[in-house]
A = this chain, B = another copy of it.
Amino acid sequence: MSYLAFKAHMQKIADVAYSIALLSWDQETYMPEKGGAFRAQQIATLSGIHHKLFTDPILDDLLNQLANDTTLDVKQRKNVELTKETFDKQKKYSTEFVELMSKTVSECFQAWQTAKEKNDFSIYQAPLEKLVELKKQECELLGYKAHPYDAMLNEYERGATTAEIETLFVDVRKQLVPFVKQIKEAKQVSDSFFFKNYDTDKQWDFGIELLKQMGYDFDAGRQDKSSHPFTISFNPLDVRVTTRVRENDVSEMIWSCIHEGGHGLYEQGLPTNEYGLPLGEAVSLGIHESQSRLWENNVGRSLGYWKKNMQRLKEIFPEQLKDVSAEDFYKAMNKVESSLIRTNSDELTYHFHIVIRFEIEKALFDGAIKVSDLPAYWNAKYKEYLDIDVPDNTKGVLQDIHWSHGSFGYFPTYSIGSFYAAQFFAQAQKEIPGLSTQIESGDMKQLLEWLRKKVHVHGRLYSASELCEQICGEKLNFAHFMTYAKEKYKGIYNL
């Protein structure tokens, strides 16, 4: 009976959490302009209720009872164990600390917006200093083994450590830096046809076609427009993605669609009978990102994927793509070029943006640098890794929203996701006979089925490393990404 009571309480918490999610989705998609003020209040109220439910002593009692309940099966035990972990973590925060953090984040976010708009880091500096100070306190509060930043990483990628990421990123530097240098010295590819005029309604319809082809269930989801693409779930039977469509850039819509579609498929594949429980949730941000990147890059930026889809796209935009072959299209979508802005960067140099942010965050948390050092430090790193001069802070240190939200430790999950994606996809290619041919003909059923079985259905039953070992027989291994990258880019750049 305790397990049922526990499950009911958790589902109640989930009902509130997903109601907040709907309030946010609406805010980003359909809410009229003036609705913002009361909406913020409504979200704050539900967040308070959510917090109260999650820290309810009833839940504590239930968790303590269930901790010693030998009648539970493996999955039930895992749900109890993971919930207890989160619950115990929550208990470490005093109400005062939570309120101070929330207030500081809010100030810092406001300051970041203004600073970015006015290209003036000084507006952001003091609030960010306050926030970093508070985040350092949070590290102490949460505890860590080796490095304070471990506590931050652990918030997004449970179990990840600074040392591990550092080792991983040494590989990235060692292998990716010379490879990118080689590419830059080769003959460059052209992507100018991406930037012709493409009717936005037709683009939209093509995006929907791609999602359907991937197996995204439109009876259990939908796509809308928002200023930044995102995926949000209210339960596995109602998972929504958004995209943005630009008239003068067909590429943005296509790969944001496939990327969010990958996230969406993961959420749609989570078990409905574990709704509200850890086993109904995604493993980690890294694993989530592995699903979006696998579809976006390993599938969606492959030559085979565009065999059939390019024919279709040319039917829709015959004028714009008249002289463009699938091969040209493939080269263009994989153009490697140092860029100032992380979100505009290619599949390879992307990771330099992440390494830079990781190094900065680590240095901030172990005191090697101060917030006031950020702009200069940032610009030096961009020169070092990307050989690029940062013209102003808006295009530099102020570009990302994450720090203003207090999301330190988040960035590395993007790279981890790409590396898991390459590793999982290599495994899928081994295990699914004829996968390449299937992708060429637009048949994604077996790939999706494989991902469902290997990743989606488990929820949080396994940790990220356990899952990776179970699927691939080894832990996260950067070599798979390099193998994939070398094979692909050597062809494209004739190396």
Query: Nearest 9 CB-CB pairs, A to B?
Result: A35-B238, A15-B45, A38-B235, A34-B237, A34-B220, A15-B42, A33-B219, A34-B219, A12-B45
Does A222 reach chain B (CB closer than 8 Å)?
Answer: yes
Type the 1/0 row for A265-282, where 1 means its CB is closer than 8 Å to any CB of B. Answer: 000000010010000000
How far apart sit A87 and B3, CA to CA, in the bound complex (Å)? 35
Report how far A333 CA is from B16 CA in the complex, Å: 46
The reply to whether B238 and A11 form a contact with Cβ atoms under 8 Å apart is: no
Residue pair A37, B234 in contact (C-beta under 8 Å): no
The number of times this chain is found in the oligomer is 2
Contact of A22 among B22, B45, B218, B219 (CB under 8 A): B22
With A32-B218, A38-B234 given, name 7 new contacts (CB 8 A): A16-B45, A16-B49, A22-B22, A22-B26, A35-B234, A39-B234, A39-B238
A-B contact pairs, 9 of them (CB 8 A): A15-B41, A15-B42, A15-B44, A16-B45, A32-B218, A32-B221, A32-B222, A32-B237, A49-B49
A399 CB-CB contact with B under 8 Å: no
Give the shortest distance, in Å, between A233 (CB) and chain B (any CB).
10
Q: Specify which of B22, B44, B237 is in contact with A23 (CB 8 Å cutoff).
A: B22
B residues within 8 A CB of A38?
18, 234-235, 237-238, 272, 275
Binding site for B on A (CB under 8 A): 11-12, 15-16, 18-19, 22-23, 26, 30-35, 37-39, 41-42, 44-46, 49, 217-222, 224, 234-235, 237-238, 272, 275
Q: Tell me how far the C-beta of A115 lies from the nearest C-beta in chain B, rounded to whole angstroms.
A: 27
Q: Is the CB of B19 within 8 A of A46?
A: yes
> Which of A16, A32, A220, A234 has the most chain B CB atoms inside 10 A of its CB?
A32
Which residues in B have their C-beta under 8 angstroms from that of A12?
Answer: 45
Q: How far is the CA of A395 from the CA of B241 in the complex (A)?
A: 41
Quote the shortest CB–CB distance from A231 to chain B (angstroms): 14
- Chain B residues, Cβ within 8 Å of A19: 19, 23, 42, 46
User: How far does the alpha carbon of A33 sit from the alpha carbon of B32 in the complex, in Å?
Assistant: 25
State in angstroms the CA–CA spacing of A192 and B32 once bound together: 38
CB distance from A216 to the nearest CB of B (A): 11
Indicate the member of A18, A217, A221, A238 with the most B CB atoms within 10 Å.
A238
Pick the residue among B37, B219, B272 that contacts A32 (CB under 8 A).
B219
Chain B nearest CB from A98 CB (Å) reads 18
Contacts of A218 in B (CB 8 A): 32
Q: Which residues of B contact A224 (CB under 8 A)?
A: 30
How far in angstroms is the closest Cβ of chain B from A153? Answer: 32
In the complex, what's the smallest C-beta–C-beta distance from A205 to chain B, in angstroms?
A: 16
Smallest CB gap from A48: residue in B: B12
CB <8 Å contact, B237 and A15: no
Q: What residues of B have a CB within 8 angstroms of the CB of A235 in the complex?
A: 35, 38
Q: Is the CB of B22 within 8 A of A238?
A: no
A13 to chain B, nearest CB (A): 9
Chain B residues within 8 Å of A22, by CB: 22-23, 26
A45 and B222 alpha carbons, distance in the complex (Å): 24
Nearest-neighbour CB distance to chain B for A18, whole angstroms, equals: 6
Tell me if A238 and B31 are in contact (CB < 8 A): yes
**A26→B224 CA distance, assembly (Å):** 13
Q: How far is the CA of A32 from the CA of B222 in the complex (A)?
A: 7
Which residues of the partner chain B approach A31 to less than 8 Å between Cβ atoms?
A: 238
A73 and B31 alpha carbons, distance in the complex (Å): 35
Bound CA span A217–B238, Å:
31
The distance in angstroms between the C-alpha atoms of A39 and B240, with both chains bound, is: 14
Please report the C-alpha to C-alpha distance between residue A222 and residue B29 in the assembled complex, in whole angstroms. 12
Chain B residues within an 8 Å CB radius of A272 = 38
Nearest CB on B from A12, distance (A): 5
A237 in complex: contacting residue of B37, B44, B219, CB < 8 Å: B37
A33–B218 alpha-carbon span in the complex (Å): 8
> Given the complex, which residues of B lie within 8 Å of A220, measured CB to CB?
32-35
Whose C-beta in chain B lies nearest to the C-beta of A38? B235
Interchain CA distance A41-B275 in the complex, whole Å: 11
Most chain B beta-carbon contacts within 10 A, residue among A42, A217, A221, A222: A42
Q: How far is the CA of A238 from the CA of B34 in the complex (A)?
A: 7
A15 to B23: give the CA distance in the assembly, Å: 11
A234 to nearest B CB, angstroms? 7
B234 in contact with A41 (CB, 8 Å): no
A404 and B39 alpha carbons, distance in the complex (Å): 33
- Residue ID in chain B nearest A237 by CB atoms: B34
Q: Which residue of B lies closest to A16 (CB)?
A: B45
Instruction: List chain B residues, Cβ under 8 A from A219.
Output: 32-34
